[in-house]
Structure 1
């Protein structure tokens, strides 16, 4: 089992750090799945933290990307990692000449970050960081596959991320839970309640998404709202922690069952299924 990746472009190093930082804001522990051409950051925790599925195309970040899996018929690697540790190691490479990541065996398995830095004298300096990881055996791999998502009642593009952050920042001071709902006309409502007040923010004319494999919605009442209640602090932490600049954030809702976010960016995609509060 071997893994080695190298990146020399400063902009790519910065984007990779942003990916790691975003994952670290969402969870303290996750699984890193490595295939021949991709990396996946995975969390399956339906009850407490929700499901995370972040897919990174290696060629968009790394100049070199080589791996050998556990066997010829299972050419993949699954590692349990602490994202905060990865961020701390990677941040030393923000202005580096190169960053190399390699799976090594020290006292325990590690992802070792080899950072080549420039000094004032013009000579290179090398800094190494060993990040301990746990190798997940093949018999447990089925626990970390892409989550199966039911048919959505509505899929809608989220409003401006900056504006959304400001709204939720104010709402979290009113109540603990946020009711998020939308319809096929492109309307979205964020509502928070307390004993003293009920505050709602309404968005109009948002783009509704349709997927080829979903049932026809032509017979539905397009004014019907579908929604679910979620923890407002978790919602706020997710959006305030995003270090990415996605071209599009799609909110998919299964009424009173699921709130699923899909972030699309040129070089990666991120899915997050947020736990709901049962009514």
Structure 2
């Protein structure tokens, strides 16, 4: 197996760093799947059966140089596991530089398998500064790859484009001080509501006239388009996902499967990220 990639476009380097920072907030462990056309970041908190997050990056957009060989010609992929927080910290130097010359990523073997990151930064002299980080990884054997496959699109009762994430994040940050849970509701008339309820206070924020996706597995409109479909989720996990506004997504879709799942779909020209929030039955808490 081998892998080597190089980025030189500052916008791509920043997007990559922002995505890694978001993933580090969402989970302690992350799986990276490398293919000839895409790089995948996968979070699976349930042992692989129910992915918590699935992100795809188009390697042709991010990498100016890209070379990989998988475990075999028939299985030309690489699966590895790492701690995303270590990766995010290693990329901190990118935040302080607006003119990073390049970012190289390669699979290496030091004392153990590593992903080595070589960050070329400008210097006051004619020479560049090279910052090198070795991130320990665990290679995932072929027999376990089936645990990290793309999740199927869940069924849902309501699907809606969310308002700007920065605006929604400010709302959630305020509500987070009131409750550990938030209820997300949407209907087929473009209404989205986020609310919290405690013994002492009920607070709801309404967004109206939002667009609704045309794609999906639910094509029939209900008889009463104003009926709300709701799911209650962990507000801290929701707030962590909303940090994705730093990736500057073009659209974010919220699919609500009442009482079971909230499926959040972040769309960018060259990045897609799916995040699954299990619904909470507050009556059992």
Short-chain TM bin: over 0.9
Question: Mean Cα displacement is larger for which, 79-88 or 28-37?
Answer: 79-88
| Residue ranges of structure 1 left out of the alignment (5+ in a row) | none
| Structure 2 partner of 1:73 | 74
| Structure 2 partner of 1:62 | 63
Please state how far the C-alpha of 1:50 moved relative to its aligned partner: 6.2
Please state how far the C-alpha of 1:237 moved relative to its aligned partner: 2.1
Q: Distance in 2 between matches of 1:215 and 1:119?
A: 55
Partner-residue secondary structure (3-state), 1:178: strand
Runs of 4+ in 1 over 4 A off after TM superposition: none
Indicate whether 1:157 and 2:158 are aligned: no
Q: Distance in 2 between matches of 1:189 and 1:37?
A: 38
Indicate whether 1:168 and 2:169 are aligned: no
Q: Distance in 1 between matches of 2:212 and 2:38?
A: 30
User: Are the equivalent residues in 1 in contact too, given 2:186–2:229 (CA < 8 A)?
Assistant: yes
Please state how far the C-alpha of 1:85 moved relative to its aligned partner: 1.5
User: Are the equivalent residues in 2 in contact too, given 1:155–1:210 (CA < 8 A)?
Assistant: no
Change (3 A) 1:74 1:223: same
Aligned residue pairs, count? 277
| Structure 2 partner of 1:260 | 263
Partner-residue secondary structure (3-state), 2:18: helix
Change (3 A) 1:160 1:17: same
With the length of structure 1 as denominator, give the TM-score of the two structures.
0.94
| Structure 2 partner of 1:18 | 18
Q: Distance in 1 between matches of 2:114 and 2:120?
A: 19
User: Are the equivalent residues in 2 in contact too, given 1:226–1:255 (CA < 8 A)?
Assistant: yes
Indicate whether 1:239 and 2:242 are aligned: yes
| Structure 2 partner of 1:221 | 224
Change (3 A) 1:188 1:116: closer
Please state how far the C-alpha of 1:219 moved relative to its aligned partner: 4.4
Indicate whether 1:111 and 2:115 are aligned: yes
What are the Cα deviations for residues 171-224 of structure 1, in whole angstroms up to 9, with x where unaligned? Answer: 112222111111111111111011111111111111112325x24323442121
With the length of structure 2 as denominator, give the TM-score of the two structures.
0.92
Change (3 A) 1:117 1:208: closer
Please state how far the C-alpha of 1:116 moved relative to its aligned partner: 2.4
Structural RMSD (CA): 1.8
User: Are the equivalent residues in 2 in contact too, given 1:22–1:242 (CA < 8 A)?
Assistant: no
| Structure 2 partner of 1:36 | 36
Question: Mean Cα displacement is larger for which, 11-20 or 118-127?
Answer: 118-127
User: Are the equivalent residues in 1 in contact too, given 2:157–2:218 (CA < 8 A)?
Assistant: no
Question: Mean Cα displacement is larger for which, 230-239 or 262-271?
Answer: 230-239
Q: Distance in 2 between matches of 1:78 and 1:220?
A: 46
Q: Distance in 2 between matches of 1:273 and 1:215?
A: 18
